[in-house]
């Protein structure tokens, strides 16, 4: 007895039914861009896997296949942020630049960057260091520590004796500006506070007996 084919299979065999098109390949880099915006705006803890998969238009298994974990995706987002959107310390604290001039610009530029967006305010790295999730905190801390070390190296070119405490002062100032920008403080008020901080940095140097001729050139 010959078994009768099902109608759908008969049509497919006759070429009248096309096979279902394959799902388009997921663009991992584009997914990082989307996730970075979410993490920056809402913070690591507030963005769950459900929100990420919905925004990226993928299912949870695909997210884990692409990035390993939510933290793995966050790590890629931090790297992209540091490369493209963070405070450009390397372009400001260039070798040979006068100390006060370089640090003053660094502090003032921070206010512009941290308050540029109405929704993605503050420094994503700094805010990530306050996440409840330990892995996320450590990922952000790696970038934060690297930035702090870079600032200290620049200062040590001019004042190696006080480089650590002066770098701490600058880093604490920058992180304070980030946190305050995050709360919504206006740019003019941030700029006014940053101006005072830059002036205080110069006064702090002079109080430690560092002459102005020493500040204008590296050792």
Share of the chain above pLDDT 90, in %: 81
Structure tokens at 137: 């905190």
26-83, CATH topology level: Arc Repressor Mutant, subunit A (1.10.10)
Q: Quote the CA–CA distance of 140 and 45 in Å, as a whole number.
A: 13
Q: What is the CATH number of domain 87-215?
A: 1.10.357.10
Q: Quote the CA–CA distance of 110 and 160 in Å, as a whole number.
A: 24
Q: Quote the CA–CA distance of 77 and 31 in Å, as a whole number.
A: 9
Indicate the pTM of the whole model.
0.83
Indicate the domain borders of the chain: 26-83, 87-215
With H, G, I as helix, E, B as strand and everything else as coil, classify residue 186: coil
Asked which of 16-25, 43-52, 66-75, 175-184 is least confident by mean pLDDT, the reply is 16-25
Q: Kindly indicate the confidence band of residue 23, based on its pLDDT and cuts at 50, 70 and 90.
A: low
**Quick check: 66 and 31 in contact, CB under 8 A?**
yes
DSSP string, 134-164: HHHHHHHHHHHHHHHHHHHHHHHTT-GGGHH
> What's the rounded mean pLDDT across residues 191-211?
87
Q: Quote the CA–CA distance of 177 and 107 in Å, as a whole number.
A: 9
Q: How many helices (H) and strands (E) does the chain have?
A: 12, 0
Write the pLDDT tens digit of every residue in 122-149. 999 999 999 999 999 999 999 999 999 9
Write the pLDDT tens digit of every residue in 82-132. 999 999 999 999 999 999 999 999 999 999 999 999 999 999 999 999 999
């Amino acid at each position: 007895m010959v078994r009768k084919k099902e109608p759908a299979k008969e049509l497919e065999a006759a070429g009248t039914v096309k096979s279902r098109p394959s799902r388009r390949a997921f663009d991992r880099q584009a997914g990082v861009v989307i996730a970075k915006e979410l993490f920056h705006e809402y913070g690591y803890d507030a963005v769950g896997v459900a929100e990420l998969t919905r925004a990226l238009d993928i299912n949870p298994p695909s997210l884990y296949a692409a990035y390993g974990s939510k933290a793995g995706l966050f790590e890629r987002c931090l790297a992209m942020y540091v490369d493209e959107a963070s405070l450009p310390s390397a372009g400001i604290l260039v070798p040979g630049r006068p100390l006060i001039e370089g640090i003053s610009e660094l502090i003032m530029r921070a206010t512009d960057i941290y308050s540029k967006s109405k929704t993605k305010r503050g420094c994503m790295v700094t805010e990530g260091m306050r996440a409840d999730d330990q892995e996320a905190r450590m990922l952000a801390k790696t970038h934060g520590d690297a930035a702090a070390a870079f600032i200290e190296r620049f200062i040590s070119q001019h004042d190696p004796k006080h480089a650590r405490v002066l770098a701490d002062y600058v880093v604490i100032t920058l992180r304070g500006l980030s946190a305050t920008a995050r709360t919504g403080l206006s740019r003019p008020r941030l700029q006014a506070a940053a101006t005072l901080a830059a002036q205080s940095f110069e006064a702090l140097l002079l109080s430690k007996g560092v002459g102005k001729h020493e500040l204008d050139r590296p050792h």
